[in-house]
Amino acid sequence: MAYSFLSAVVLVLPIEPYLVGLAYFRPGDVWFAALLAAVAHMAGKLVHFFLGVEVLQRLKLAHRAELNEVWAQRWESLAEFAGHHTWAMSVITFLSAAVSLPPFSAMPFLAASVGMRWWTFALAGTAGRLARFWAVMAVPGLLPESLFGV
């Protein structure tokens, strides 16, 4: 759990190789380990979410005159869309957490900037991360044992 949390906060630490090794050496704990990793990872992403909220409130990026007019209009239309279709941001967060399109490292800041509730972000992200981590941990069971050389 500690490495999963750390990999969420420090963006250059990948969690997937760790999970593959864990699944290989402890194949009976895949579901539980995937769940713990997903919860810890989302706790780390919530740090980014709340940092994003704080930074946006301090800088008030949406209201700065220096923003390019086109980007300001796009930002406002995205925030308006997210306000009218709250489910859409949940779906985007789930898909981003599961397949990393758009990159999940950017999602906490995007979700915070359009006013998504933190608990909605946490639930959708945890569900997506659980799906991703379980799929990653299923890989060692699909590969021949001679590949690992253990």
Domain layout of the chain by residue ranges? 2-144
Q: Which residues of 71-105 are buried (b: 16+ CB within 10 A; e: fewer)?
A: ebeebeeeeeebeeeeeebbebbbbbbbeeeeebe
3-state secondary structure of 81: helix
Q: How confident is the model at residue 39 (pLDDT cuts 50, 70, 90)?
A: very high
Tell me the CA end-to-end span of the chain in Å, nearest whole number.
25
Going by C-beta distance under 8 Å and a sequence separation of 6 or more, which residues neighbour residue 123?
90
pLDDT at 145 exceeding the cut of 60? yes
CB 50 within 8 A of CB 35: no
**Helix locations, 27-85, DSSP H:** 30-59, 69-84
Q: Which is more confidently placed, 46 or 51?
A: 46
Q: What is the pLDDT of residues 62-87, one digit of tens each?
A: 555 455 677 667 777 877 888 788 78
Overall pTM > 0.95: no
Q: Please tell me the distance from the alpha carbon of residue 39 to that of residue 55, in angstroms, as a whole number.
A: 24
Q: Please tell me the distance from the alpha carbon of residue 19 to that of residue 30, in angstroms, as a whole number.
A: 9
What are the backbone dihedrals phi and psi of residue 144, each rounded to the nearest 5 degrees, phi first? Answer: -65, 145
Q: Please tell me the distance from the alpha carbon of residue 21 to that of residue 143, in angstroms, as a whole number.
A: 13
Q: Please tell me the distance from the alpha carbon of residue 87 to that of residue 119, in angstroms, as a whole number.
A: 13
Identity at 69, one-letter amino acid code: E
Q: Please tell me the distance from the alpha carbon of residue 44 to that of residue 7, in angstroms, as a whole number.
A: 8
Q: What is the pLDDT of residues 72-131, one digit of tens each?
A: 677 778 778 887 887 889 999 999 999 988 889 989 988 888 888 999 999 999 999 999
